[in-house]
Structure 1
């Protein structure tokens, strides 16, 4: 026998349905409008790539994740802008490939797993060789010995250029990584993932010091932190509910998290942090990290600490926002969470600038120009 409904249940169900429908309609309209605005910016900002008459032999890092997404982005971009691309891994017979394919030049990423005798052999064929260092200055003790074996050296840290010149490298250039928009881009994220303030990255000690002071100031907000070593926090047990410990994300998941939050914090790694650091010369870092470009490409407001070269890439306060202390960061986060339209406009301007000037297409075109013309 069917159970009878209590009087008024249908009326309550209908009211809940209407409220849910109205709320869903408003949210869908808001999300759709934002995605449409972002798509308009993407279309206006993205230059049309031109296929160039060059053949590149690209040698991957050979390190796997997290370097493999860099390799994938560079390979995909080279296939768009170069007439021909040959791919090799460090364990291949690189000289035999170069002798057979006769590329205009060889480009290696990172180079720490690539035997130097293979580079000597390619140099001996008269093929120009280039190395692009991804972790300067944190492994400069190692990279300084690798760089001298290449005809051209590219580094994402401007302050490492003098080091390589002093070691005898003839052609040294500062070239930041930028972003691959095939991975980092605006997305419509799941409601369950959304929050207000996000940080993704390993807990180097300067970041631990920052968040030890920052967490009590922003804990009333919806937070998400992800990465290794966050149990270094003094009050980790207090904050662990908003921390995904030991997680290393693929780019697609990272940009989804960025998109899901209204503000993303960027804290650069300290040059003298003792965690996985081989920088005995104590070379300071002046240049923005790759995360700078990845956050802005995700159409979210970036709050970043200051680096000297940052203003070469973004206008502070207009395309990106900087902070100089935990208190300043917390105050600016509060301000922009309460001023939604201002937050969105800065995020959109950062998105436009990134796609216009700071993608792999832009960087690799610069690299090709420097390899061809010096």
Structure 2
């Protein structure tokens, strides 16, 4: 198979130095023996301006999307003429290109496939473009009917992890409870419940560490400089700075001990943290939906990368997790802050039980929840030979 690949490397515009999607999607496709042609274009600014609901983003999209579309079609045609392309694989929003551009790719006889994993609360970002693809790979089972309702062809493909990247390290487990990820929603409340119970917890990620005290990231200035206009930062760039470095409000509201707060980790540092922690935490709620009568919970990349990296993984319960792990035997779930605190204390004092669950979770992840396996099954359902 020959595949034209178009995706930003990072899964989070606030972490432009991360290579999460490259490590998981690109490298896993390559592991299957697929010949990959990479789209030679900087997609990162489009991730920063992905939501046209903000006026400054709409302006950016209208100005820059035609250039992306032109280069995309130009490079696909050139590659296809040189040697036929079988599949166009993207992680695109409507901000990247219009539906008619995807249809032009299909008209070349190329199967078009889009992967997108934030439809749980941001379906509007792909609602217009999704019907143009031959297949939309969708990890949110409850969103499948929404895709069909707009005329798209969804294929349920749950998230996974790449075992060549996510793996255990022989390191001392020096931390009791850790979480690596962005500060938002009710995450701080849950972590505060652990602290109140007398359990030592450490966190790393955008928004946790007081403003001005984050570790420097070399790529930050380069990436935010693209959003400079008339000597002032656009609102999109301002939001990005707040995401990475926090704000004074975040600093004053923080109830966690200052020594427990850390800035963003590199991909490798995060993976190693799973081997340095006795308990690694995960959260299932999306955005601020916990404040509503119908909070949105979703299975996340973390739910597979943590066990695969050798973590004892404790995550907020949602029923879909039971399809992928034996709860209580391969991973542990909590239902609220008190339950989280009680289980953290219990498993910290029951090392042999914790170790048994950790090893079982690792085996399940590497045997069943790899991207290589997910992609193989997806292409088989599409009728595409690898």
What is the TM-score with the length of structure 1 in the denominator? 0.75
Residue in 1 that maps onto 2:308: 297
Q: Is the 8 A contact 1:77 1:361 kept in 2?
A: yes
Shift of 1:62: 6.6
Q: Is the 8 A contact 2:6 2:91 kept in 1?
A: yes
Instruction: Specify the SS of the correspondent of 2:119.
Output: coil
Which blocks of at least 5 consecutive residues in structure 2 are unaligned? Answer: 42-67, 211-249
Q: For 2:32 and 2:300, locate their aligned partners in 1 and report how far apart those are by CA, in whole Å.
A: 24
Q: Is the 8 A contact 1:199 1:265 kept in 2?
A: yes
Change (3 A) 1:159 1:285: farther
Change (3 A) 1:303 1:72: closer
Which blocks of at least 5 consecutive residues in structure 1 are unaligned? Answer: 1-53
Q: For 1:109 and 1:68, locate their aligned partners in 2 and report how far apart those are by CA, in whole Å.
A: 14
Residue 203 of structure 1, aligned match among 176, 183, 186: 183
Q: For 2:294 and 2:139, locate their aligned partners in 1 and report how far apart those are by CA, in whole Å.
A: 13
- Which aligned pairs between 1:214-293 and structure 2 lie closer than 5 A? 214-219=194-199, 221=200, 223-230=201-208, 232=250, 236=254, 239-244=257-262, 247-270=263-286, 272-273=288-289, 285-293=296-304
1:76 maps onto 2:58 in alignment:
no
**Count of aligned pairs between the two proteins:** 309
1:55 maps onto 2:2 in alignment:
yes
Q: Is the 8 A contact 2:184 2:287 kept in 1?
A: no
Instruction: Specify the SS of the correspondent of 1:319.
Output: coil
Shift of 1:213: 2.9
Shift of 1:325: 1.5
Name the larger-Rg structure.
1
Change (3 A) 1:89 1:144: farther
1:364 maps onto 2:342 in alignment:
no
Instruction: Specify the SS of the correspondent of 1:336.
Output: helix
Residue in 1 that maps onto 2:332: 321
Change (3 A) 1:207 1:153: same
Change (3 A) 1:110 1:206: farther
Residue in 2 that maps onto 1:102: 84
Change (3 A) 1:97 1:158: farther
Residue in 2 that maps onto 1:86: 37
Residue in 2 that maps onto 1:188: 170
Shift of 1:66: 6.2
Q: Is the 8 A contact 2:286 2:297 kept in 1?
A: no
Q: Is the 8 A contact 1:204 1:269 kept in 2?
A: no
What is the TM-score with the length of structure 2 in the denominator? 0.73
Shift of 1:84: 2.2
Q: For 1:310 and 1:73, locate their aligned partners in 2 and report how far apart those are by CA, in whole Å.
A: 20
Q: For 1:370 and 1:233, locate their aligned partners in 2 and report how far apart those are by CA, in whole Å.
A: 49
